[in-house]
Chain A
């Protein structure tokens, strides 16, 4: 490679960097117009949620009404909760009536929000570090690995997303991994056991009963 070629090459790279920078600036100006990268989306949602929790004592002290509101405004727009519930339910989901599917989603959501709301009292100075995406993943099933870092041991928190062009921010979360345990996989057996014993209605009833006893306990 001659000297002039080399200079040309460098120039081209500079142009490319400048173009990238310009497009990035443009994109940030337009905000939601273009779909975000999945890891950028996760970083944004977790930062916003963490900041909201740090700023509001009622959330940390377990005010379930306020927590539910936070979940609905900050998280649910990015979660395909219907798919989550369907996957946790398994093949029986398709045989369920729309009314049963709706009830099941409602009770499952309450169960999950209650489960995790206790952990909010632990939030003080934590930050979420999003790890680089692993290569070779598919758009319809893509894992973003993150780590919650604070004073205690780091907590593994991963998200499974699907690309949904034009819907939400371009990606929807459909599974969550806490400390190495995927949520849907862990609930599949719980749900199947109830369905085998008494069908979808038995499952809904058990979830409702569990939610009721959790309300009493807290």
Chain B
């Protein structure tokens, strides 16, 4: 409970910081990113923490553990995560997705050695990740300003407000033993980051300004996920030049 209060306090602090930052203006401002200068600082901070601690830890994790063990860890955590995805599919009234995710959890828990094996995917039961931010988006809540959270990375005001619920809904945080909870969280960070080792390098190599590249990519991806892969196109394809070769 104390940990929960602490987290809430830090979130509140973050919001006051963010609110203060609202006064600052940035050149070539993007309407979706009014807190750009604040966000850029946090982005840089995250980058430093990542370079110093998280990335080396993830590289070590990949080096030390054989891939079948890492795969098992990823599957196990993924199975726990499916529970909250199922709840959110249900909240979005997606009947088929809810039932299929329920079947995934059953199949993987009972036939996949408690989730270590992802038998369900091999049975063509597709994994569908849903979180509460997506549920809010589904019901028409606008994303609001873009926010870069310390350590957690890209988000929006809507997704940030949904975060406490996502954390509550995370089965891996339901264990009563605090050591177990922390170990699971640490493992998940390593699992996620080790899966992104190449992706992050690609983003750095592909962009001219990594900050806005990540921001634009994140905002596009969230819209895509809320619309299950087919968001209405908002980009003006007539604006360039369509002359023949």
Contacts and interface: CB of A to CB of B under 8 A. Distances in A.
Interface of A: 80, 82-83, 86-91, 93-94, 111-112, 114-115, 118-119, 122, 134, 141, 143, 145, 153-154, 156, 158, 160, 167, 174-175, 177, 179-182, 184-186, 188-191, 193-194, 196, 206-207, 210, 214, 217
Given A185-B220, A189-B216, A214 B205 contact: yes
Interface string B185-214: 000000000000010011001111100110
Contacts of B244: 167
Contacts of A206: 208
Interface string B221-245: 1011100011001010101111011
B205 A186 contact: no
Counting chain A CB atoms within 10 Å of each CB, which of B224, B229, B237, B244 scores highest? Answer: B237
B237 A87 contact: yes
Contacts of A141: 233, 237
24 contacts: A87-B237, A87-B240, A94-B241, A111-B206, A118-B198, A118-B202, A145-B229, A153-B127, A156-B224, A156-B229, A160-B237, A175-B237, A180-B223, A181-B221, A182-B220, A184-B235, A185-B235, A186-B216, A189-B209, A189-B213, A189-B216, A190-B212, A207-B208, A210-B205
Nearest to B217: A181
B241 A83 contact: yes
B220 A180 contact: yes
A87 B236 CA distance: 9
Interface in B63-81: none
Interface of B: 28, 30, 121, 126-127, 198, 201-202, 205-209, 212-213, 216-217, 220-221, 223-225, 229-230, 233, 235, 237, 239-242, 244-245
A190 B233 CA distance: 19
Contacts, number: 97
B208 A194 contact: yes
Nearest to A101: B241
Contacts of B206: 111-112, 115
A206 B207 CA distance: 10
B240 A217 contact: no
Given A118-B201, A184-B235, A90 B216 contact: no
Contact of B209 (A153, A177, A181, A193): A193
A185 B236 CA distance: 9
A139 B24 CA distance: 45
Nearest to B210: A190
B225 A180 contact: yes
A4 to B, nearest CB: 43
Given A145-B230, A189-B30, A193-B28, A89 B240 contact: yes
A185 B237 CA distance: 9
A190 B221 contact: no
A115 B127 contact: no
Contacts of A190: 207-209, 212-213
A91 B239 contact: yes
B217 A80 contact: no
A172 to B, nearest CB: 9
A185 B216 contact: yes
Contacts of A154: 126
Contacts of B198: 118-119, 122
Contact of B240 (A83, A111, A143, A160): A83
Given A145-B230, A156-B229, A185-B235, 10 more contacts: A86-B240, A87-B239, A88-B240, A111-B206, A115-B205, A115-B206, A118-B205, A122-B198, A186-B216, A207-B208
Nearest to A153: B127
Given A118-B202, A153-B127, A190-B213, A180 B241 contact: no
Contacts of B225: 180
Contacts of B241: 83, 86, 93-94
Contacts of B245: 80, 82
B242 A83 contact: yes
Contacts of A175: 237
